Structures are given as structure tokens and as C-alpha cells.
Amino acid sequence: MPFVTWPGLVLRNLRRRPVRTALTAAGVSVGVGLIVALLSITNGAKRTAAQLIHIGRADFGLFQAGTADLTQSLLPESLARDVARERGVAGTARIFLFSTSKLLVFGYVPGEFPALRTVVVEGGRAKGDDALLGDGAARRLHLGAGGMLRLGKRSFRVAGIYHSGNAFVDNGAVLPLRVVQQLARRPHELTTIAVTASLGARPKAVASRLERDFPNTVAVTEPGQAVKIDTSSRLIVTTGWIISLLALIVGGIAVTNTMAISVFERVREIGILRAVGWRDRRIAALIVSEALAICLVALAAGLALGYAAAELFTTGDNSGTLIEPDFTAGVFAWGLAFALGVGVLGAVYPTLRAVRLSPIEALRRE
């Protein structure tokens, strides 16, 4: 009789019904994919928010409250003067963020700190309506100093290539504020007011004071806070977790059903194993191993599915410019935990059924 290893025994049992095994793994992989896609997009949203609220090394950004997306915030330009007079505020900067199909365009006011902290690494400073292009965007668009940047029906000469140290900004372009307001058809309005706190002042305390003094504004100091306020991101996260929970339940039921049928079909085999001395815990280990093997196959497929889904979601329309999925070790760890959780959950009932079979009763069955 050939020697059979434990993994070989598990694999042989799963290959008895390959279609059923594959369908069960496919169902679980959808849940894993949802978890991976959801968490990577959430991480990407937090990273983008961190870069958005710290443009020009600002301590925080002031936005319109209740917007579906922080980039859709609209504030009156005159508000910047009132904010600058507030206690604890060292400086303010007026910024308009305009999203195009090619890239993000930042409207700065020459002389304010975001413009002054933008380091030109190629070419020269912008004059008039000239544009500055981030080094990340320059590589992606294959443009250099002296080239022409087309935005809609207008073209702008690229005076220079800049690097700010903020990946969000370095993948965009900078134009004078009034020009970007014209492109967006939003004269005298801003997306955000960047704020730096005075020496010795706590940014969070200053932010809270501004929210009290200027109703219906939100001062965002932390990335996590931005995701909670941004209704689009919050909807994605909430919906994703609900769907993932449902996927966990459905996946657990699918694995339970598959393993229960497998136990029913192998009653005599289990009886023989019990008769030759297999203990309850060894029978249980075999059933659990088979369930976990299905889920590990699903994990591999689910990771690929989640990666593809996140990339597809964020590259649709302009969202890929705003949010890029962030695949961290924690994201994949959650995917692994989900797969293993489904495996253990799905193995509970079949395992109990298997260990309760007596050898005599099992061997009597046809």
C-alpha cells in the first residue's frame, strides 16, 4: 500500500468532487476579494486625505461641511481673510482643486506658503498663466519644461517641473488660483483654506475654534477624520463591511454544505478509520484541514480578485487620480483572517457530525 501523507490525503478527498470544491472556493474567494478591495481603497482614501489636508505643509485644511467628497468642497474666497485674523492662526493659503481627465490641477496664490514651498527642479518659475507640472505627472505625461499642457480647450506652457514632497500634489499641476477658478467656472470660490497654527498653539485646538466661529465648516486635522466626514468614502466603507459580513455568512454556509455532504458520502470510510484506531480529534483535524484547504485556494483567488477590483474601481472616471488603492500587509492579513474564519466556521457542523458517528453504525451503512 503506498504511503499517503496528510496533505496528500486532504488533496485526494477534495479531488473526489472537483466541481463542488471549485464552486465552494469561488464563493469564498468573492468574500476575500471584497475585503481586500475595501481595505485597500480605504487605506488609499486615508493616504489621499492626509496629503490633501497637508498641502504646502499646512497643519490642517478647512473645508465645507456636508460635502460628498472633500474635493467638492466650496468656500467663499473672502473667508480666508477672516480665518487669518483668528487667534492661533499663523497663516492661511487659498487653494482650489480642479480634477480633469488627465490630472489634478491646484490653484495657488503666488506669495502664499504652498506656492513658496514648491521647489522647481527643472525649468523656471511660472509667469503669468504659465503652469508648473509635478515631477510625477511629468513622468506620466512625458512632458518637460517648455512643453504645452492641454486642459480642456485651453493650453498652458509648462514653465517648470516641481517637487513638493507630497505625492498627491506631485502628480498634478499648479496654476494661478484665478486661472483654475475660471477653468472650474467657480470665480471667487475655494476648495479649501490651508491653515498653519501659530508657534505654541495646538492645531487641533485651533481647528475646533475655527469650526465654532465659522458654522458649516469642517477643519480636518487627521486622515481618519477626513474619511469619516467624506460621505462618499463613508458610504463605500459601510457598504463594503455589510457586503463582507454577508459574504462571510454565505461563504461559511457554502463550506458547511460542502463538508457536510462530503461527510455524508464518506460515512463508511470514516467508520473504517474509527475502527482502525483513529481518535475523534484526528477525524476532526481531517475535516477541518479539508475546509481550510478549500479556503486557502479561495484566498489565492480572492487576493487576485480583490487587487483587480480595487484597481478597476479607482481607475474609473477621475477617481484613479484622487484615490489609489494602498495594498499593505494588513490588508492581506485581513484577507487571510477572513478565509481562515470561513474555513473554521464552515467546518464546525460537519466535524461534530463526523466525530459522533460510531464505527458500527457507520460500517452498517451502504
Whether residue 208 is predicted with pLDDT greater than 50 in this model: the reply is yes
Lowest pLDDT segment from 176-180, 207-211, 352-356: 352-356
- At 237 the pLDDT is 67
Which residue in the block uniquely carries the three cell numbers 512643453? 147
- At 21 the pLDDT is 85
- At 283 the pLDDT is 84
Whether residue 365 is predicted with pLDDT greater than 60 in this model: the reply is no
- At 317 the pLDDT is 46
Share of the chain above pLDDT 90, in %: 33
The set of cell numbers assigned to 107 is 490653484
Lowest pLDDT segment from 103-117, 210-224, 231-245, 345-359: 231-245
Of 172, 331, 166, which is closest to residue 244 (Cα–Cα)? 331
The answer to whether 158 and 132 have CB atoms below 8 angstroms apart is yes
- At 130 the pLDDT is 94
The phi, psi pair for 113, rounded to 5°, reads: -60, -35
Of 219, 192, 223, which is closest to residue 208 (Cα–Cα)? 219
- At 322 the pLDDT is 58
- At 320 the pLDDT is 41
- At 277 the pLDDT is 79
Whether residue 84 is predicted with pLDDT greater than 80 in this model: the reply is yes
316 Cβ neighbours under 8 A, 6+ residues apart: none
Whether residue 128 is predicted with pLDDT greater than 60 in this model: the reply is yes
> Which range is most confident: 32-41, 63-72, 272-281?
32-41
- At 156 the pLDDT is 95
The set of cell numbers assigned to 291 is 475546509
In eight-state DSSP terms, residue 356 is T
- At 361 the pLDDT is 63
Angle at 173 between CA 171 and CA 175, to 5 degrees: 160
CA dist 56 and 83 (Å) reads 17
Instruction: Check: pTM over 0.85? Answer yes or no.
Output: no
The phi, psi pair for 352, rounded to 5°, reads: -60, -40
Rounded mean pLDDT, 201-224: 88
- By three-state DSSP, how is residue 107 classified? strand
Whether residue 1 is predicted with pLDDT greater than 70 in this model: the reply is no
For 310-335, what is each residue's pLDDT tens digit?
Answer: 888 776 544 444 567 888 888 888 88
Question: Which is more confidently placed, 174 or 30?
Answer: 174
Rg (CA), the chain: 29
Whether residue 232 is predicted with pLDDT greater than 50 in this model: the reply is yes
The answer to whether 366 and 265 have CB atoms below 8 angstroms apart is no
Q: Strand 104-108 vs strand 172-176: parallel, antiparallel, or unpaired? A: parallel
216 Cβ neighbours under 8 A, 6+ residues apart: 64, 65, 66
pLDDT band at 234 (very low <50, low <70, confident <90, very high): low
The phi, psi pair for 220, rounded to 5°, reads: -100, 120
Average pLDDT over the chain reads 84
The answer to whether 207 and 219 have CB atoms below 8 angstroms apart is yes
CA dist 110 and 102 (Å) reads 24
Helix (H) or strand (E) holding 260: helix 231-265
Whether residue 71 is predicted with pLDDT greater than 80 in this model: the reply is no
Sequence letter at residue 154: R
- At 109 the pLDDT is 94
- At 269 the pLDDT is 79
In eight-state DSSP terms, residue 112 is S
Question: Which is more confidently placed, 137 or 360?
Answer: 137
Per the DSSP assignment, residues forming a β-bridge with 50 are none
The answer to whether 75 and 190 have CB atoms below 8 angstroms apart is yes
The answer to whether 166 and 193 have CB atoms below 8 angstroms apart is no
Question: Which is more confidently placed, 236 or 350?
Answer: 350
182 Cβ neighbours under 8 A, 6+ residues apart: none
- By three-state DSSP, how is residue 275 classified? helix
- Phi-psi category of 103—alpha, beta or left, where left has phi over 0 and alpha has psi -120 to 50? beta
The set of cell numbers assigned to 6 is 496528510
Helices (runs of H) and strands (runs of E) counted in the chain: 15, 12
For 9-21, what is each residue's pLDDT tens digit?
Answer: 788 888 888 888 8
